[in-house]
Amino acid sequence: MTPFLLKIVTPDGVQFEGKAEELIVRTTQGDLGILAGHINCVAPLGMGMATVVMDGQKRYGACIGGMVSVVGGAVKLVPTTFEWADQIDTARAAASEQRAQEILRNQSSSQTELRLAEARLKRALVRKSVAKYQ
**Binding positions for another protein, rule: CB under 8 A:** 7, 9-14, 27-29, 32, 39-44, 65-67, 69, 71-72, 76, 78, 80
Q: How far apart are CA 86 and CA 97, in angstroms?
A: 19
Query: Measured from the CB of residue 45, what is the shortest distance to another protein in angstroms?
Result: 9
Minimum CB distance to another protein smaller for 59 or for 76: 76
Task: Report, in Å, the least distance between residue 122 CB and another protein.
Answer: 15
The residue among 103 and 133 lying less far from another protein, judged by its C-beta, is: 103
- Which residue, 84, 63, 75, 87, is CA-closest to 34? 75
- Sequence-ordered list of residues with C-beta below 8 angstroms from that of 67, at least 6 positions apart, any chain: 42, 43, 44, 45, 78, 79
Query: Reduced to 3 states, what is the DSSP secondary structure of residue 115?
Result: helix
Q: How far is CA 66 from CA 11, 44, 89, 118, 124, in A?
A: 11, 6, 21, 18, 17
| Smallest separation (angstroms) from another protein to the CB of 49 | 18
Residue closer to another protein by CB (options 69, 134) is 69
Least distance to another protein from the beta carbon of 116, Å? 9
